Structure 1
Amino acid sequence: MRDHELPDGMPDFFTAAITFAGINLMWIFFVIWVMYGMVPVLVLAVLINHFITRLEIRLNSQKA
């Protein structure tokens, strides 16, 4: 996922950003689970998955 237009000395923070997002999603899911139960967590997970899939399709169509 490295951008080829970036200078060589610039670090790639993609892995760190994905890890940070995953950790944040875990505690957010846990809080929602404690407050409202498992069904809203599953609905939110399905919505996030749907938006990620749509984003992937959109980005792939722009590359072509």
Structure 2
Amino acid sequence: MEKGFYKLSGKQLIYGEWVSSKDLYLSKETKDDFTYPIDGWYYFESEAEAKEHFGIVDEKINK
């Protein structure tokens, strides 16, 4: 995942290049037109940035 919109739903990180509902349309082209969060969505430059924001730590498997 890359630049785009991220939302934490329970323990799952959701990603979209654009987000649409009956009341909302978010796109990379209009990302600077809003104050976040919008319905839980934020814009981040990377998945790593989103994970840091939401406090998600990837589990490492020790061999």
Return the TM-score normalized by structure 2. 0.24
- Tell me: higher relative CO, structure 1 or 2? Use CA pairs within 8 A at least 6 residues apart: 2
Higher share in strand: 2
Return the TM-score normalized by structure 1. 0.24
